[in-house]
A and B are shown apart, each in its own frame.
Chain A
Amino acid sequence: DTAVSQTPKYLVTQMGNDKSIKCEQNLGHDTMYWYKQDSKKFLKIMFSYNNKELIINETVPNRFSPKSPDKAHLNLHINSLELGDSAVYFCASSQDHPASRGETQYFGPGTRLLVL
């Protein structure tokens, strides 16, 4: 009965590989997000989707491509992984997009990515 789940929890891979992280929420929320948390714990938004539509796309390299097959899922595919991509990636969801009421975000457990 986990609200926001992510797989995998840990991901260790070589530079240059392509990898995907999956996220699912069972809260019936319309908006989902991807955040990157670096080694200094700084949380930075990467993307947000509202009803499968891309709303926010921060200045993220185009090696990162989100995909939302339905509003309960938001996956993140990363091409040609680089050392600097090592971080914890959090998926989150909220009932509606933030501007409507400043929605509470529910975070997934995170995916710890290490690029060697």
Chain B
Amino acid sequence: GQQVMQIPQYQHVQEGEDFTTYCNSSTTLSNIQWYKQRPGGHPVFLIQLVKSGEVKKQKRLTFQFGEAKKNSSLHITATQTTDVGTYFCAGLTTDSWGKFQFGAGTQVVVTP
């Protein structure tokens, strides 16, 4: 079946550094969403990408959707301690009702 893979699983970052998390699907996606879950919290929507090759920015976060709509990335610049949490991508399948397949998440730890 369709799978969404996310790497890396863990990311230790020094405050001020940049990092990227990647999301890959075995099949073409209708769109992709990114969520952030703080420790002990619940997933919170960050952004949705719909078009092939789309790039969106939110302050220090840059989201990209691949040309083939099978992969996506989230790049964070100048990491801050507030960036701690798990970042999930969720790919929307192309079947009739659609369902979101979540990646396993990238757990980000920031050291001051």
Contacts and interface: CB of A to CB of B under 8 A. Distances in A.
B107 A41 contact: yes
A104 B42 contact: no
B86 interface: yes
A48 interface: yes
- The bracket for how many chain A residues form the interface is 20 to 34
B110 to A, nearest CB: 17
A98 B98 CA distance: 5
Nearest to A55: B97
Nearest to A98: B98
Nearest to B86: A41
29 contacts: A41-B86, A41-B104, A41-B105, A41-B107, A43-B102, A45-B100, A45-B101, A48-B97, A50-B97, A56-B99, A90-B42, A90-B43, A98-B92, A98-B98, A98-B99, A99-B30, A99-B95, A99-B96, A100-B98, A102-B30, A102-B31, A102-B48, A102-B92, A104-B48, A105-B45, A105-B100, A108-B42, A109-B42, A110-B42
